[in-house]
Structure 1
Amino acid sequence: MLDWEQLNSACSNCQACELGRTRTNIVVGRGNVNAPLMFVGEGPGEQEDRQGLPFVGAAGQLLDTLLEALMLKPDEYYIANVVKCRPPNNRVPSDEEAEKCLPYLRNQVALVRPQILVCLGSTAAKYVIARDIRITQIRGQWIERKGYWIMPTFHPAALLRDQSKKTLLFRDMREVRNKLHTITGIKEN
């Protein structure tokens, strides 16, 4: 297992797939590296590629607003993606691209050691839970695996395209907050 400095260096120097040749910046993660809660998204978008941070574009702003509304504090979570480089035109990462990046994500999970993992969208759920998963069938259900509580839910970008998912995502995230507070003993304000 790599430490944080080694992981960032390995990601920065990675050329294992075509995404390494087209990125502007590597996007490893943001947040508390000792957080009890970890969010995993698909991959960087245009703004993330420019800034080198995950979830800073429109979907990230929506996620931040949701986390604030649920009174989750930034020191309670860490945010990462399946792939660390932006797929051209924000397309879904190929299986090969995701497979090349999975060791980095696994290393991040091992370093953060969260108690809860939230898969934001079908790509994250596919590579964290099961390859044949369908987010519409499994979202909102807790899965316990290898000592982690895992919650698959919609990616915030899905709300930008379909507002009808808003209530379901909010409900799922409220369940995440409640589970987090139960596990950690954090009292709600």
Structure 2
Amino acid sequence: MAQDRPFNTAEMVSVLEWYRAAGVDLAVGEEPVNRFAQRAPVRPVAAVQAQDAAPAPHGAPLALPSAFLVDPAAARALAAGAQSLAELEAIVGAYDGCGLKLRATQLCFADGNPEAQIMLIGEAPGAEEDRQGKPFVGKSGQLLDRMLAAIGLDRTKVYIANTVPWRPPGNRTPTPEELAICLPFLHRQVELVAPKVILTLGGPAMQTVFSTSTGILKMRGRWSTVQMGNHGVEALPTLHPAYLLRNPAAKQQAWRDMLSLKQRIDTLGIS
């Protein structure tokens, strides 16, 4: 049996990277802690009201109450104030109401052509997307590029976004609360791009855009009109490239969806 020894620097970095990829973001002590026996300090209501009512110093940014930051209605108000995609990206980048931001490396807002008439919506950034700050740049993105090229498209002809702009720890599926917080920003993104068609990639993105709990295998390949904010648009759900990498036999279904997208593009006269 190998004798225990201290990790060297390279090994410690590898372990930390593994922990980060798995979503570990909190160090704990050697002794167990009874959290049920602990009580959070309770601030007097008057003190909270006084702090919320106190004006900020001249020139200082406005400090919003924490309850405001996690309210989807507040996110809708912020999103509605964006008059351009650049303004919306700045608003989302400064927004602290979604816990995913605390664990992500950087914002992953969008990629492609903001004037495109075709919009692609995925689920959430992965590890490589988190590093580069762009959606679909890892292995899934490389497959997506090949799928687009097969019907004469590339990233200069489409606009790509995700349902949430920050990577969930361990690449897990975003929670309903995280989706609800970020949905107003996605709606405003769609309104500002105003695409003629949307292609959703994978089950979670399809369920968010189509407001359904139906599984992707039942919904894929079926066109529907969806309402994203104030913008109504035809949308087609298809399988996520990551799923296709794990299940190569499903590429035949995805290919039929891409041909359907190509046919709709030709019918609508999208260049």
Q: Same fold (TM over 0.5)?
A: yes
Structure 1 runs of 4+ aligned residues shifted over 3 Å read none
Task: Tell me the SS of whatever aligns to 1:65.
Answer: helix
Quote the residue 2:233 is aligned against.
Answer: 148
Quote the residue 1:183 is aligned against.
Answer: 268
C-alpha contact (below 8 Å) 1:35/1:76 kept by paired residues: yes
**Residues 40-51 of structure 1 correspond to what in structure 2 (within 5 A)?**
40-51=121-132
* CA RMSD, Structure 1 to Structure 2 (Å): 1.2
Aligned AA for 2:181?
A: K
Q: Distance in 2 between matches of 1:171 and 1:112?
A: 26
Q: Distance in 2 between matches of 1:151 and 1:69?
A: 17
1:132 is aligned to 2:217: no
Aligned residue pairs, count: 186
Aligned AA for 1:82?
A: T
Instruction: Give per-residue Cα distances to partners, 1:83-119, cap 9 Å, x unaligned.
Output: 0000001000001111111111111100110010111
Q: How far 1:67 sits from its partner (Å)? A: 0.7
1:31 is aligned to 2:112: yes
Q: How far 1:185 sits from its partner (Å)? A: 5.2
Q: Distance in 1 between matches of 2:208 and 2:185?
A: 12
C-alpha contact (below 8 Å) 1:72/1:177 kept by paired residues: no
C-alpha contact (below 8 Å) 1:32/1:74 kept by paired residues: yes
Higher relative contact order (CA 8 A, sep 6+): 1
Structure 2-normalised TM-score? 0.66
Aligned AA for 2:265?
A: L
Identity %: 39
Q: How far 1:145 sits from its partner (Å)? A: 3.2
Aligned AA for 2:93?
A: S
Further displaced range: 77-86 or 126-135: 126-135
Quote the residue 2:140 is aligned against.
Answer: 59
Q: Distance in 2 between matches of 1:80 and 1:133?
A: 22
Question: Gapped runs of 5+ residues in structure 1?
Answer: none
C-alpha contact (below 8 Å) 2:117/2:270 kept by paired residues: no
Q: Distance in 1 between matches of 2:267 and 2:219?
A: 22
Aligned AA for 2:117?
A: P
Query: Paired residue for 2:247, among 162, 166, 170?
Result: 162
Q: Distance in 2 between matches of 1:107 and 1:44?
A: 19
Please identify the structure whose Cα radius of gyration is greater.
2
Instruction: Give per-residue Cα distances to partners, 1:49-106, cap 9 Å, x unaligned.
Output: 0000000011000000111122114332100000000000100000111111111111
